[in-house]
Amino acid sequence: MIDSIFKSKWVPVSFQVFTLCIFIFLIYIGWGISTDDNELLLILRNTNLANLVVWSFWLPCIILVSVLFGRLWCTVCPMELMASLLNRVGLKKKLPSFLKKGWAITFLYAVVLIIGVHTFKIHRFPHRMALYMIILFGLTIVLSFIFEKRAYCTAFCPIGHLLGLYSTNALMEWRVKNKGVCNSCKEKPCINKNRDYAWYGRACQSYLFPGTLKDNRDCILCTQCMKACPNDNVTFRFRKPFKDLFGELKLTVPQAGFILIVFGFAFYEVVTEWGTSKSWILSPFQALNDRLGITSPWDGTVTALLLFFIAPLVLFTLTSFLHSSVSKKGVFYSLKTYITPFIPLIATTHFAKAVIKSVSRFQNIPGALKDPLGMETARALHTGAMYAGNQWQYNMNKLAQVFSLGILALGFFITLSLLIRLARNKKEPFPIFYVILSTGYILSTAVAIAGKAFF
């Protein structure tokens, strides 16, 4: 059933055209909507339809889908459609090898997170969010015109590593049915350069060969190799969850660097859910900014750099140093090796935040549909002329928070299992220091969610 849908000539192009139209509409709704009133802004971010959709439902859904089913967002993403169209008339330059490794993805994710979100608050200002979306479109157009194949998707998409690494947890995979069939195939249309710009059944534009796919990280599920295969040998199928992680998953240095960043970001996202834990975490950074005389918006830059880069790097380096002192392996080797088992813990933490955030915004949907620009609704809420709270939303929030505690526990259990299994396979001592790090992580995030739910 699923494969028959993917084989259709209208898939994924029809979905991509639809999402392109949605993107354009969201840019239109967000453009020009802004305010200098910080209190009003905190309300406006949830009353403007574009801002509400992008940050409260679209991004959380991308996280949920990637963790559960893999890179299905990439299947319907309009950027791939634009890349496929522009490649035909572009310069078709070769993509430099260092970019293929994913350095630009890690860098751009950090820039969006630290400069975009935590400095210029693109997640709060609808106008800035619209501008950010326009920049992504522009970047896709420029890169697709300069480089061959889909350079944006392969080497520049800011959430490329997030989708790829979270997809290693997924219940589904894109694989061949029989590797022998691929090996014996003489034409191999799925990688034949003569089919690079075919409308239907293109050769892989991500520099992959379906017959050698071992994990979910790199394939963006464009479905073209399935259409190109003359032997009906490509399928999208169910599998055991976390399968890639229980195999020999070897990360690149850019991917390891990305995990460090998202380790800090996911932690921050959940811990700041509860006012008490938010104060505990952020007060030292605020004190530092005050001491240095750093004011808004750059105080957010400093805090983000320390929380999402410096703190995770110090924690993992220290943990790896302690482990290497007993394993007699190098610090960098230990860090790169033992950071992989943390993917389920980070992904489920991000998953938990996505659930909590999306559910808490259900009450904003009716108002945003009635007043898409959101300014009148925001002013009414700000002045007290309108009241947003209700009992059913309160109950839904509690349910989401309790459910998220279970998700966190699952991620911790899988990470713990992977750490122990990895050390056993490599004949190294019990990874007690990494266990302590993961335990501290889960306890901090669980306390924050429980605190918000019950106190």
Residue 247 lies in a domain: no
Q: CA–CA separation, 219 vs 226, rounded Å? A: 12
**pLDDT confidence band for 365 (50 / 70 / 90):** very high
With vertex at residue 89, the alpha carbon angle to CA 87 and CA 93, rounded to the nearest 5 degrees, is 60
> What tens digit of pLDDT does each residue of 147-156 get?
999 999 999 9
Same domain as 346, residue 226: no
Task: Tell which of 145, 166, 187 closes a domain.
Answer: 166
Q: What is the DSSP string of 326-342?
A: HH---HHHHHHHHTGGG
**pTM for the structure as a whole:** 0.96
pLDDT reported for residue 1:
77
| CA neighbor of 91 nearest in space, from 146, 138, 129, 50 | 146
Same domain, 228 and 333: no
The pLDDT, as a whole number, for residue 32 is 98
Does 291 share its domain with 210? Answer: no
pLDDT per position as a tens digit, 135-145: 999 999 999 99
**Same domain flag for 387 and 324:** yes
**Do residues 334 and 363 share a domain?**
yes
Residue range 333-347, pLDDT digits in tens: 999 999 999 999 999
Asked if residue 294 has pLDDT above 80, the reply is yes
Instruction: Provide mean pLDDT across the span 304-330.
Output: 98
145 located within any domain: yes
Same domain, yes or no, for 201 and 300? no
User: Is residue 248, in this structure, part of any structural domain at all?
Assistant: no
- Judge if 104 and 68 occupy the same domain: yes
Residue 183 lies in a domain: yes
In a domain, 422, yes or no: yes
Mean pLDDT confidence for 47-55: 99
Tokens of 200: 């239907």
Query: Are residues 100 and 142 part of one domain?
Result: yes
The answer on 8 and 154 residing in a single domain is yes
> Given phi > 0 = left and psi -120 to 50 = alpha, else beta, which region is 48?
beta
What's the pLDDT score for residue 248?
83
Residues 265 and 340 in one domain: yes
- Output 149 or 53, whichever has higher pLDDT: 53
The full length of the chain comes to: 455
Mean confidence (pLDDT) of the chain: 97
Q: How much is the pLDDT for 386? A: 87
pLDDT digits (tens, 9 = 90+) for 418-455: 999 999 999 999 999 999 999 999 999 999 999 999 98
Place of tokens 């979100």: 117
Last residue of some domain: 185, 204, 238? 238
Looking at the structure, tell me whether residues 192 and 103 fall in a common domain: no
Cβ burial, residue 374 (10 Å; 0-12/13-18/19+): buried
Boundary residue ending a domain (128, 147, 166):
166
195 and 337, same structural domain? Answer: no
Phi-psi region of 248 (alpha: psi -120 to 50; beta: other; left: phi over 0): beta
At position 429, the amino acid (one-letter code) is P
Residue 388 confidence (pLDDT) above 80: no
What is the percent of the chain with per-residue pLDDT over 90, rounded to a whole number? 95
**9-21: per-residue pLDDT in tens?**
999 999 999 999 9
Q: Is residue 244 part of a domain?
A: no
pLDDT of 389 = 77
pLDDT for res 184? 97
Please name which of 134, 21, 27 lies closest in space to residue 76, comparing C-alpha atoms: 21
- Structural domain count, the chain: 3
**Structural domain boundaries, residue 49:** 2-166
Round to whole Å and give the CA distance between 26 and 126.
Answer: 9
